[in-house]
A = this chain, B = another copy of it.
Amino acid sequence: MPDKVNVDKFIHGGDYNPDQWLDHPEVIDRDFELFKEAGINSVTVGIFAWDKLEPSEGVYDFSWLDDVFDRAEKQGCKVILSTPSGARPRWMAEKYPEVLRVDENGRRNLYGERHNHCYTSPVYRQKVREINRRLAERYGRRENLILWHISNEYGGECHCELCQQEFRKWMKEKYKTLDNLNRCYWNEFWSHLYTSWDQIHSPSSSGDSNVLGLNLDWHRFVTDRTIDFFENEVAPLRELTPDIPVTTNFMGGNPPDSHVFYDLDYQKFAKHVDIVSWDSYPNWANGYETTEKLAAKTALMNDVMHSLKHQNYLIMENTPSQVNWHPVNRAKLPGMHEMGSLQEIAHGADSVMYFQLHQSRGASEMFHGAVITSKMSSKTRVFRDVSRVGRDLELLKDAKDSRCAEARVAIVFDYDNMWALDDARAYSNQSKKYWETIQHHYKAFWDMDIPVDIISTDDDLGKYSLVIDPMHFMMTEKFAGKLKKFTEDGGTLVGTYINGIVDENFLTYLGQGMDTWRQIYGLEVTETDTLYPEQKNNLEMFGKTYEVRDYCDLIEPESAEVEGTYGDFFYKGTPAVTRNGNAWYIGCRTDDGFLADFYGRLCRDLGLDFEIPLEKHSSKVSVRVRQTDDADYCFIINFSHEKQDVELSCDAEDVLLQEELNSGSLELEPYGVKVLKISR
């Protein structure tokens, strides 16, 4: 299966719905002219177009889609073709109500919205295969077809009786015997022993919502079922168009907390797509955080996507201006669109694509930003911003096959752990802050322009010098073994509080905890002091005092050495940060100042400072490098509304200005970007 899109430049395109304008061909004419003007070289079509493709059961109409392919082809524009399963025609739900979802209390939805389908329904699966087969048959050989966009933003769940049966099958396959299942769920608690497989039911607010193992397995099942549905979708495509790669647009990083997508295990899902693509909607220009902070969070999200397959990925959607679903929908300020687009290229994106190329005239997303707004003009600010990015991507053409500089630092992130920790009735119930913790650790490296991978527990650790494993509450023996081997092989490991507590069945490691884990860190955690929001402690280390909040592990060192100690409470003076050979343990939630100091020293000691011939004066400027065989492309981005200087210490080519530079001072405009090509 192909692992990249067959194009010779960065893709600049987006979702396009001419099906909404079929009675206005002049609008479509004009659209294609404007595409040329803005450097749009790809259109993504067919998303949610099922009712135009199959207006009534078994009656198909591909004429309008043929026309789009023709128009695109004529001007060298590529096509990304979507399967239409993200929304179904009304006639289908009317005739086959089983295609609609059922909620956790057993109530079947009415027709409505999108993404409202049962993943199990045999009828729906059959209908999807059928339409996908026809699309593949008709368009699979079109020269400008470059990619399959499967469905749209998979998510949600169905609790219908068919899904319950699948869930029971899944459980049976996993646990084999009821005894085993009962033991793993610790079901004797509250007399919950299953005595028949038929008693299994998905979590529900009117049934069980406190069986931790069940909740976790339901998350896992929903991922598996979604992937199964996805595989049903792609089967005819793989058969008919083996050379066309397949993706589906992932989600995440949305305001206000820029949290990674929660509902599906993308680390598992990513194994089934050829290329990762995602929809990126950072809310630049918001009123509650600095551009710099949001930039770091967005960088992290891009590195998450890059790390899923450790290969370049696509931005499938982003907005050229504002969205319409934030609490406040502000457009990007001048410069921000270029800033944000090139940041994603810098992190390994091979595209800038928009939702949407042409704004709807009506319906719920009519005010979402678009390249061509309802003004249908090339004079708008957004059109100029988009055209500028189009020009940038054209100028960056030589960098198209570049890859990001290899990361030697990895942060472990695990979906099972996220779900389990979140669901654990323990600690500070409403604010475990697993993702926020990853964000804080990541930011320390972002400030230093050091590349970081965000890895799963399946990933190979061997290529990293430093692995960070924060709040790894649910940890398997197997992964602990990997960590142990990693440190034995000379790798440096940093773990934090609430770590290695339960196994994959949500059962506590008894006694002094998991042996392997204790061997790694050389300590036992005797308690975790969970602080109220009003309470704080201190960490004494590096001759400084750092603020500590939320969590303090009380540590009993075995082979570990004490590097930092607590400043307050009944465990004042006891170990807060320890080191066991290469394995560091940070037992408390510290402020960012500590993380900067700690990782700064560690990186210096490990020689991880990334070699860039540039000196910057502010963490508001970020530098990322993509590399080809013979050159480094340095993306220097100013994430602030003031001008910033950087010092260049070699000769280079300013790619966007198309001019040669000597070493010396470089000025960046507010939200400004420079791409320097430095030959080797």
Q: Which residues of A approach B to under 8 Å, CB–CB? A: 17, 19-20, 23, 48-52, 55-56, 84, 87-91, 94, 103, 105, 107, 109-114, 183-196, 198-199, 201, 204, 206-213, 286-288, 322, 324-331, 333-334, 359-368, 374-377, 380-381, 424-430, 505-513, 526-527, 529-535, 569-570
Contacts and interface: CB of A to CB of B under 8 A. Distances in A.
Contact of A326 (B55, B90, B429): B429
B94 A425 contact: no
Give 8 nearest A-B pairs by CB, closest first.
A287-B532, A186-B362, A110-B207, A367-B426, A112-B208, A112-B207, A189-B363, A287-B534
Contact of A534 (B91, B201, B288, B526): B288
7 contacts: A49-B188, A89-B195, A111-B199, A114-B190, A187-B363, A331-B527, A333-B570
B364 A212 contact: yes
Contacts of A531: 287, 328, 330
Given A374-B509, A531-B287, A328 B189 contact: no
Interface centre among A55, A209, A364, A533 (most CB of B within 10 A): A364
A20 B84 contact: no
B324 A366 contact: no
A434 B527 CA distance: 39
A189 B89 CA distance: 11
Contacts of A508: 359, 361-362, 366, 374
A94 to B, nearest CB: 6
A648 B522 CA distance: 51
A322 B528 CA distance: 11
A209 B527 CA distance: 47
B206 A107 contact: yes
Given A186-B363, A328-B427, 15 more contacts: A50-B191, A56-B195, A89-B191, A109-B206, A109-B207, A111-B207, A190-B364, A210-B363, A213-B363, A287-B533, A288-B534, A329-B429, A331-B527, A359-B508, A362-B507
Nearest to A335: B570
B20 A328 contact: no
B186 A113 contact: no
A89 B374 contact: no
Contact of A530 (B322, B426, B569): B322
A526 B383 CA distance: 12
A363 B328 contact: no
A202 B502 CA distance: 45
B429 A90 contact: no
Contacts of A94: 196, 198-199
A587 to B, nearest CB: 16
A463 to B, nearest CB: 36
A185 B505 CA distance: 50
Nearest to A512: B375
Report copies per complex: 3
Interface centre among A50, A111, A187, A189 (most CB of B within 10 A): A189
Contact of A209 (B113, B206, B331, B367): B113
A363 B191 contact: no
A533 B365 CA distance: 23
Nearest to A188: B20
B189 A20 contact: yes
Nearest to A204: B110
B364 A189 contact: yes
Contacts of A330: 529-532
A499 B206 CA distance: 41
B89 A193 contact: yes
A113 B114 CA distance: 33
A233 to B, nearest CB: 16
A34 to B, nearest CB: 13
Nearest to A208: B112
A637 B427 CA distance: 29
A94 B531 CA distance: 43
A329 B428 contact: yes
B206 A376 contact: no
Nearest to A199: B90
B526 A91 contact: no
A427 B189 CA distance: 45
Nearest to A195: B91
Contacts of A527: 331, 380-381
Contacts of A430: 327
Given A20-B189, A191-B87, A362 B532 contact: no
A514 to B, nearest CB: 12
A575 B427 CA distance: 51
B327 A110 contact: no
Contacts of A365: 189, 425
Given A362-B212, A426-B324, A507-B361, A201 B376 contact: no
Nearest to A333: B570
Contact of A328 (B185, B328, B532): B532
Nearest to A91: B195
A189 B360 contact: yes
Nearest to A203: B112
Contact of A210 (B103, B184, B198, B364): B364
A90 B192 contact: yes
A108 B187 CA distance: 23
A362 B185 contact: yes
A64 to B, nearest CB: 11
A52 B20 CA distance: 59
Contacts of A287: 531-535
A48 B212 CA distance: 18
Nearest to A106: B110
Nearest to A213: B362
Contacts of A52: 188, 191, 193
Nearest to A426: B367
Contacts of A51: 188, 191-193, 195
Contact of A510 (B329, B361, B363, B532): B361
A222 B206 CA distance: 20
A19 to B, nearest CB: 5
Contacts of A377: 511-512
A88 B23 CA distance: 52
